[in-house]
Structure 1
Amino acid sequence: MEKLKPVKHAPVLIAGAGPVGLTLSALLSRCGVQNVIFEKNAELSQHPQAHFINCRTMEIFRHAYSPNLMRRITEIVPDQSCWRHFIYATSVLNGTEIGRVDNFPSSSTSRNTAAPPLAAHQVLDRHSPAKVIHLSQSRLMPLLFDEVLAEAGDTTRSRGGKGGHVVRFGHEVKDVREVVEGVQLLVEEKETCDMHVFQGHYVVAADGSSSVIRHKAQISMLGERGVQHLMNIHFSSRALAQATSHRPAMLYFIYNAEVVCVLVAHHYPSGEFVAQVPYFPPAQSPEDFGPVTVRALLDAAIGTAFTDLTVHSVRPWIMDCQVAQRYRSGRIFLAGDAAHRFPPAGGFGMNTGIQDAHNLSWKIASVLQNSANGALLDTYETERRPVAERNASLSMHNFSRSLRVPQALGLNVEQAKDAARISSRISNAMSKALLPYMFAVGRWPLKSLENVRHPYGEMCLAKARKILRDGASLPLLFPTDDIGFRYRPEFPRAQNAEESIHHGLGLDHLQVGGRLPHIWLQCLHPDTGESLGNISSTDLADQLQAAFLSSGIFDFTRSRPFAILLSSSAEEKITLSASQTVLKGWNMPLIGVKIIMRPEVSSHSSTTTFGEFGQEDQQALFRHLIKKGGCLTLNDIEGNWEQRIHSQASSILVRPDGHIQALLPSDKDLDIDF
């Protein structure tokens, strides 16, 4: 019998303990905002799910979590040699290799003469201190979970235990309602069937594509539903991992007469894979994929049968391309898959969600901790929704690109859908009997790929290989949409993936709403002038916040986001007090940072981030900060700031999330209306 428990209070209530909910919690806790996460499952998800983490998300991880997270990620992330390729073949082991794509080539493979000479990964290396990685969500989340508890000081909760203050597993959100004093969640504790009422200032729905909160808030999804239907087959085989060691890949695109699928190599050491097999309703359904069928499909995709192969789960997945009509309803916000659903081509789903959390967290903290104008929260939708729309458009274009190779091999997805629709109009028994033959006929052209010197097969292989050779198939990296997005209405939708890959030339430019460009700057000891390590300009806002919080020198910075004023004017001296606040709109502390050029100082210091400095070095820097009236001085060790940034603005006002709020010709006039 349900028992209604007394109302419990927390400023921010989060539904969903996925990467988005966990990152939002960590960012809020870092700003001193108490929060609670409700997760309906009894433990963290064990399904691999998303696996590609882009540069901007890795930068956010540097900001949201302690340096310990980056160290732990580095320890478990696979070597790039294991996942740099996409391989196209008739089977993983014994079939014809149609071709392969190296996503980290020495130069661009684009035939577009307007493209820069750099490959996409080289563009990212130049413009970010972080690296993209291939790490399954199921292996990432325990690391994020540990950091969330550490950040919030919650020692009462293990990943599978009971109780806990920050993350409450086995607690399912049933309803949401706004009240005069805030917003309430009705939450069921599944083990006891007790019903709890939690009340907060704000609720964030990070509860996935089938969000209960989004449904209760009556927010509709706009876009295309059912782009494709897939069966995700999660399995493991160490023997398969060992057998593919001579040609490892992140993705294997498999085309043969028995099966068409994509095989994702999630983790070679444990032999963890996921096969994504399309199916075609209404003639086909998940019930058609029983144990015998699944095993036959896997054996056909691999090219042989492995006795150690274990199937862990078989689950359907509907590929949608949709964005929520609204991101906010009163005190309720949507984030992650609750706000947008993309085809996986390009890996934008989880990354876009984590960036949602990064944008929203400092705004909530500013309203709660800085008494900022509540209108600041309206900018979450106006800034993040256009980015999601652009990513949705690009993901659909990428999905179309992924069909170019199978089309060259003689496959036609639309014909398969037509066959499924036709078969559904006849009797069920006859449909079940005919459909396998209809699909077999559709895959028949693939038989020719295995026959040496078959004229049709040779023609299809030549067409497919040209697509791969010309860089016209599915790419992995998208510099413009990874780190080049900006929070302004004029940021256009991506017209195609080619634009996103190779339009990296503008990443040096200062643009209001854009992320502060990456430049390595050197921190000098205030007394000796010795290098204390380097810091990326993109890390300044969050790493300085973390360092201030840990130093204990300035109490006002505790639990409060702050902005940064960067100046490189040789004629002017920043005399800002570290306690000075920007009063219009944000009511936010402002920290001054002076960029100087001291070429006599060695530029060969390590790229240790500010947050990784030892306590003694931090104290020295902050003593220097106090002496200089709140100004931290950084050395432009390679002259890149002078060459690439200073010519565009004398001073730059940077938001807590590292995006540019204003470009100022002088640091004297700070009367800025936000």
Structure 2
Amino acid sequence: MNEQMNIEVDAATTHTPVLIVGGGYAGTAAALFLAQNGVRAIAVDRHDGPSVQGRARGVNQRTMELYRTLGIHKEVEALSAPFAGDAGVARCATLAGAWDWLFDPEPDSRLATVSPSTFVMADQNTVEPVLTRRARELGAIIERGTVAEHIEVGENGATATLRRLDDGTSRRVRCDYLIAADGYASGIRDLLGIRRVGTTAVQDWVSIVFDADLDDLVERRALFWIVLNEELGFASLTTTARPGRWSIGVTYDPATTPLSSFDAEKCAAIIRAALGDPEREVGIVDVTPWQQAVGVADRYRQGCAFLVGDAAHVWPPAGAMGANSGIQDAHNLAWKLAAVLDGRADPGLLDTYEDERRPVALALADLTVRRQAARFGGGLDDDVDDIVCTFGQRYRSAAILGGAAEVPFAGAVADVAEPGARMPHRWIDEEQRTSILDLTGSRFVLATVADTDELEPAMGPHDVLVQRVGRDVLPADAVVALIRPDGYVAWLADEAQADAESVRKAVERVMSIR
């Protein structure tokens, strides 16, 4: 593929199979999952390290399942310790006044059986270093304090100048594939001429991170507090991973209130108005603007370039689906890129990334908008089932053989293997707490109730692990289920098709090799 690049390169230009622009959650996850699949990508980000802003805090169970395949789930779980007492959503005029608990959920009993993982509360700025370290251990190159400039994108490759911000040195890099993980205001998306469907900007916010002792006001910690009073209008207060450090977000109109007006004095006044204590001592740590927006890119690919995370989709934070979806985008794309780069798959496989992930984004945009409106309007949107949103996402594409499930969501999570659905969790080693999903990540798994001896022969260049499972995980008329590296069921077969040759052909069809 490198010889077919239709952009001009020279001897001073180095090569990487994949260049990732943007080192937030989605970009770092893309580098990590590519490395897991044997691809040594380069990821660059202009920032020296994670933002002091906590940002995305909810790591859902599906994302944690992906981390299990990399052996980092325990480390991520440990990062939840500062949030151990946080639960529910409270609304108040000030923190010093009365609280009305809008959302104080009981644990969902279904979670014990639907997943091997648990939901984790952890600040993004504590999780990103874990992902970065593991990605580098697996061979990824992640460069902080580096910007990608003069990007040229063709059908068969791209080039970019990578410039270090500390000393100004630069080098030219060419890549077979480019991943745009450069956020909501993605410059690469604009370069590619990709539009975003939906309302581009709903509301401007400023987030203020501050230090204060609030022990006398906070007898019980919430996930966040909705603060409504005449002085502030609306504000959202959250905890952070650091004791005594908090974050408050307020809306503002840049046309009438410039960001520069949010000096230390004004920020302190905002915080004290939310607390209901005009004398409270507070220390301002950081002030960052952001936009709450709704929009999904009208396509996820242009030639060799792909959009992931906020570059592809944005919506309100209700339900913690934004960052998790970005990470799951990266996982869906990474194993496919790896298979194409090493010749195991036809490039046509890459078209299934948009086919599978974009319908999910469109549906989640609608769900989160409704949930956000209902939550801040005084209640909750009870028809949004978090478990279905998390585990019930279904795909229909050329990389799914058979299956006619409603996409992107059906009414329930699949409880037996179903083409286009995530493979249901089952323990295959209860003593070691190993789930069937733990075997995925970088290879296909063939779950079977048939005689495994007939399925063991090598299946060409494809790494397929054969795993015996209980009868309860497969439909009555199936004896094998082919599970993709992302944990999704690609194919079911009855006893007549339960042989190595049929499995090999099924894998090749999934890989767009016809």
Partner AA of 2:420 in structure 1: G
2:125 aligns with 138
Q: How do residues 239-278 of structure 1 correspond to structure 2 at under 5 angstroms?
A: 239-240=213-214, 242-244=215-217, 246-259=219-232, 260-267=234-241, 269-278=242-251
- Is 1:369 the counterpart of 2:268 in the alignment? no
Structure 1 residues 579, 187: closer, same or farther in 2, change over 3 A? same
Partner AA of 2:236 in structure 1: V
Task: Give yes or no for contact 1:401–1:474 (8 Å, CA) kept in 2.
Answer: no
Distance in structure 2 (CA, Å) of the matches to 1:483 and 1:80:
24
2:394 aligns with 486
2:443 aligns with 562
1:340-362 CA distance string (max 9 Å, x none): 11111111111010001110110
Distance in structure 1 (CA, Å) of the matches to 2:336 and 2:264:
49
Partner AA of 1:508 in structure 2: D
Task: Give yes or no for contact 2:21–2:43 (8 Å, CA) kept in 1.
Answer: yes
Report the 3-state secondary structure (helix = DSSP H, G, I; strand = E; otherwise coil) of the residue aligned with 1:140. Answer: helix
Displacement of 1:330 in angstroms is: 0.8
Distance in structure 2 (CA, Å) of the matches to 1:231 and 1:292:
15
1:2-22 CA distance string (max 9 Å, x none): xx9921111111111112111
Distance in structure 1 (CA, Å) of the matches to 2:387 and 2:279:
39
Partner AA of 1:655 in structure 2: R
- Is 1:519 the counterpart of 2:494 in the alignment? no
- Is 1:320 the counterpart of 2:322 in the alignment? no
Distance in structure 2 (CA, Å) of the matches to 1:27 and 1:193:
30
- Is 1:43 the counterpart of 2:16 in the alignment? no
Equivalent residue in structure 1 for 2:104, among 102, 105, 117: 102
Task: Give yes or no for contact 1:173–1:186 (8 Å, CA) kept in 2.
Answer: yes
Query: TM (normalized to structure 1)?
Result: 0.68
- Is 1:661 the counterpart of 2:456 in the alignment? no
1:214 aligns with 189
Distance in structure 2 (CA, Å) of the matches to 1:175 and 1:56:
37
Task: Give yes or no for contact 2:444–2:482 (8 Å, CA) kept in 1.
Answer: yes
Report the 3-state secondary structure (helix = DSSP H, G, I; strand = E; otherwise coil) of the residue aligned with 1:201. Answer: strand
Displacement of 1:484 in angstroms is: 1.2
- Is 1:129 the counterpart of 2:77 in the alignment? no
1:289-335 CA distance string (max 9 Å, x none): 33322211111111225755211122222111111111111111111
1:507-532 CA distance string (max 9 Å, x none): 31432111100111227xxxxxxx6x
Distance in structure 2 (CA, Å) of the matches to 1:653 and 1:173:
39
1:363-417 CA distance string (max 9 Å, x none): 0110112431110011111111111111111111112212322xxxxxxxxxxxx
Distance in structure 2 (CA, Å) of the matches to 1:58 and 1:573:
30
Task: Give yes or no for contact 1:578–1:589 (8 Å, CA) kept in 2.
Answer: no
Displacement of 1:130 in angstroms is: 0.6
1:457 aligns with none
Structure 1 residues 278, 590: closer, same or farther in 2, change over 3 A? same
Task: Give yes or no for contact 1:10–1:36 (8 Å, CA) kept in 2.
Answer: yes
Distance in structure 2 (CA, Å) of the matches to 1:102 and 1:189:
47
Distance in structure 2 (CA, Å) of the matches to 1:182 and 1:645:
42
Distance in structure 2 (CA, Å) of the matches to 1:588 and 1:29:
18
Partner AA of 1:485 in structure 2: Q
Task: Give yes or no for contact 2:317–2:368 (8 Å, CA) kept in 1.
Answer: yes
Displacement of 1:493 in angstroms is: 6.2
Q: How do residues 456-535 of structure 1 correspond to structure 2 at under 5 angstroms?
A: 467=379, 472=381, 478-488=386-396, 491-492=406-407, 503=411, 505-522=412-429, 533-535=432-434
Task: Give yes or no for contact 2:159–2:175 (8 Å, CA) kept in 1.
Answer: yes
Task: Give yes or no for contact 2:207–2:248 (8 Å, CA) kept in 1.
Answer: yes
Distance in structure 1 (CA, Å) of the matches to 2:32 and 2:155:
28
Displacement of 1:591 in angstroms is: 2.4
Structure 1 residues 35, 228: closer, same or farther in 2, change over 3 A? same
Report the 3-state secondary structure (helix = DSSP H, G, I; strand = E; otherwise coil) of the residue aligned with 1:393. Answer: helix
Structure 1 gaps of 5+ residues are 107-120, 155-165, 406-466, 495-499, 524-530, 543-560, 582-586, 596-640
Task: Give yes or no for contact 1:578–1:590 (8 Å, CA) kept in 2.
Answer: no
Structure 1 residues 122, 578: closer, same or farther in 2, change over 3 A? farther
Partner AA of 2:87 in structure 1: R
Displacement of 1:250 in angstroms is: 1.2
Equivalent residue in structure 1 for 2:454, among 575, 582, 586: 575
Displacement of 1:178 in angstroms is: 3.5
Structure 1 residues 131, 210: closer, same or farther in 2, change over 3 A? same
1:415-469 CA distance string (max 9 Å, x none): xxxxxxxxxxxxxxxxxxxxxxxxxxxxxxxxxxxxxxxxxxxxxxxxxxxx4xx
Distance in structure 2 (CA, Å) of the matches to 1:355 and 1:180:
25
Displacement of 1:230 in angstroms is: 1.4
Task: Give yes or no for contact 1:235–1:309 (8 Å, CA) kept in 2.
Answer: yes
2:3 aligns with none
- Is 1:191 the counterpart of 2:166 in the alignment? yes
2:6 aligns with none
1:127-171 CA distance string (max 9 Å, x none): 01111111111111122222122221x7xxxxxxxxxxx112221
Task: Give yes or no for contact 1:228–1:318 (8 Å, CA) kept in 2.
Answer: yes
Larger of the two Rg values belongs to structure: 1
Structure 1 residues 233, 576: closer, same or farther in 2, change over 3 A? same
Report the 3-state secondary structure (helix = DSSP H, G, I; strand = E; otherwise coil) of the residue aligned with 1:213. Answer: helix
Report the 3-state secondary structure (helix = DSSP H, G, I; strand = E; otherwise coil) of the residue aligned with 2:159. Answer: strand
1:588-622 CA distance string (max 9 Å, x none): 23222222xxxxxxxxxxxxxxxxxxxxxxxxxxx
Alignment RMSD (CA, Å)? 2.5
Higher fraction of helix: 1
- Is 1:59 the counterpart of 2:61 in the alignment? no
1:151 aligns with 138
1:34 aligns with 40
Structure 1 residues 210, 643: closer, same or farther in 2, change over 3 A? same
2:400 aligns with none
1:629 aligns with none
Partner AA of 1:78 in structure 2: A
Distance in structure 2 (CA, Å) of the matches to 1:39 and 1:123:
39
Task: Give yes or no for contact 2:80–2:122 (8 Å, CA) kept in 1.
Answer: yes
Distance in structure 1 (CA, Å) of the matches to 2:83 and 2:259:
35
Structure 1 residues 229, 474: closer, same or farther in 2, change over 3 A? farther
Distance in structure 1 (CA, Å) of the matches to 2:253 and 2:366:
24
Structure 1 residues 37, 512: closer, same or farther in 2, change over 3 A? same
Partner AA of 1:224 in structure 2: T
Distance in structure 1 (CA, Å) of the matches to 2:78 and 2:166:
36
1:163 aligns with none
Structure 1 residues 665, 80: closer, same or farther in 2, change over 3 A? farther
Report the 3-state secondary structure (helix = DSSP H, G, I; strand = E; otherwise coil) of the residue aligned with 1:224. Answer: coil
Displacement of 1:642 in angstroms is: 3.0
Distance in structure 2 (CA, Å) of the matches to 1:339 and 1:96:
40
- Is 1:17 the counterpart of 2:20 in the alignment? no
Q: How do residues 418-457 of structure 1 correspond to structure 2 at under 5 angstroms?
A: none
Distance in structure 2 (CA, Å) of the matches to 1:391 and 1:172:
31
Task: Give yes or no for contact 1:85–1:102 (8 Å, CA) kept in 2.
Answer: yes
Equivalent residue in structure 1 for 2:88, among 71, 82, 85: 85
Partner AA of 2:202 in structure 1: V
Displacement of 1:264 in angstroms is: 1.3
Task: Give yes or no for contact 2:205–2:289 (8 Å, CA) kept in 1.
Answer: yes
Displacement of 1:180 in angstroms is: 8.1
Distance in structure 1 (CA, Å) of the matches to 2:153 and 2:413:
44
Task: Give yes or no for contact 2:417–2:473 (8 Å, CA) kept in 1.
Answer: no
Structure 1 residues 5, 188: closer, same or farther in 2, change over 3 A? farther
Distance in structure 1 (CA, Å) of the matches to 2:228 and 2:279:
20
Q: Mean Cα displacement is larger for which, 123-132 or 73-82?
A: 73-82
Distance in structure 1 (CA, Å) of the matches to 2:12 and 2:169:
11
